[in-house]
Amino acid sequence: GQQLNQSPQSMFIQEGEDVSMNCTSSSIFNTWLWYKQEPGEGPVLLIALYKAGELTSNGRLTAQFGITRKDSFLNISASIPSDVGIYFCAGREQGAQKLVFGQGTRLTINP
Amino acid sequence: SAVISQKPSRDICQRGTSLTIQCQVDSQVTMMFWYRQQPGQSLTLIATANQGSEATYESGFVIDKFPISRPNLTFSTLTVSNMSPEDSSIYLCSVEGTRRVGTDTQYFGPGTRLTVL
C-alpha cells in the first residue's frame, strides 16, 4: 500500500528559529492533515488541507497542499518552547476511507 | 472539534488477561477508528468500528485478538485479548464526520497507555 515519507525525522533548533518539515507520498492524495502529539497525549489536529495548492495558516503555523497532490509541508515561524512535540502528517487517497500517517518529526527546542 | 474521552487512561496488566478500552464522543459521528502506537512509532490503524455491524480489520489484526463493538454513533470499545508484552502500546480512538466539521477531518482521543507484564 501507499506510504508517506516524512522528513526530517528529528530537529534540534534554537528558540525563535523557523521550522520546516514535509511529507511526500507515492500516490495522489485528496486530503492532507497535520497533527501534533505531546507526551502522554493523543494527536491534536493542527491544519487540514483539501485542495491542491491550498495554503492554510493557524497562528504561527502554515501548511500547503502540494500542486502535484503528492506532497505537503508544514512551517512553524518563530518557534517557542511549547512547540516541542512530535508532528505527524497524514493523508488520504481519493475514495479511500482510511488515513495514512508519516513517521513523525520530533521537534526539540533549545531555549 | 468533537470531545473524545477514553477509559482507562492507562493500565498495567498481566500476561494472558484481557483489557477493554472505551471510547465516548460528545456528538454523533459517522466513523470511528482504533489505532495502535508502539513506543516511539507512528500510528497504525487496527480497524474501523462500524455501527451495527462487524468491524473492518486491517492486515495483521484479527477479530479474535482485538474484538470491537460499536453499539451506537457515540460509543465504541476495543478489547485487547490474551495480552502479551508485545501488546504494550498506546491505543487511540479517533472519529470522523461530526456534525460540526467536514467529514474528511479525523480527531483523536487522549489514548490509553497499556503496559503488559
- Average of per-residue pLDDT across A49-64: 96
d(CA A11, CA A64): 20
The mean of the pLDDT values for chain B is 92
The span from the CA of B2 to the CA of B32, in Å, is 12
Asked whether residue B103 carries a pLDDT value surpassing 70, the answer given is: no
Residues paired with residue A14 on neighbouring β-strands, in sequence order: A110
Residue A82, helix vs strand vs coil:
helix
* CB pair distance less than 8 Å for B45 and A99: yes
Of B33, B105, B109, the CB nearest to A33: B105
**Tell me: the pLDDT tens digits for B3-60?**
999 999 999 999 999 999 999 999 888 889 999 999 889 999 999 998 888 899 999 9
Across chain A, how many H-helices and E-strands are there?
Answer: 0, 11
Q: What is the pLDDT of residue B52?
A: 83
Give ∠ CA A33-A37-A38 in degrees, rounded to 5. Answer: 160
For residue B15, the distance in angstroms to the closest alpha carbon of chain A comes to: 23
Q: Which of B92, B104, B105 to mutate to test the interface with A (most CBs of A within 10 A)?
A: B104
Interface contact flag, A98 B48, Cβ < 8 Å? yes
Q: For residues A89 and A46, give the distance between their C-alpha atoms in angstroms, rounded to a whole number.
A: 10
**Range of weakest confidence among B70-74, B97-101, B103-107:** B97-101
CA distance B28 to A77: 36
Lowest-pLDDT choice from A18-27, A73-82, B45-54, B65-74: B45-54
| Residue B76, C-beta contacts closer than 8 angstroms, at least 6 positions apart | B22, B23, B32, B34, B49, B68, B69, B70, B93
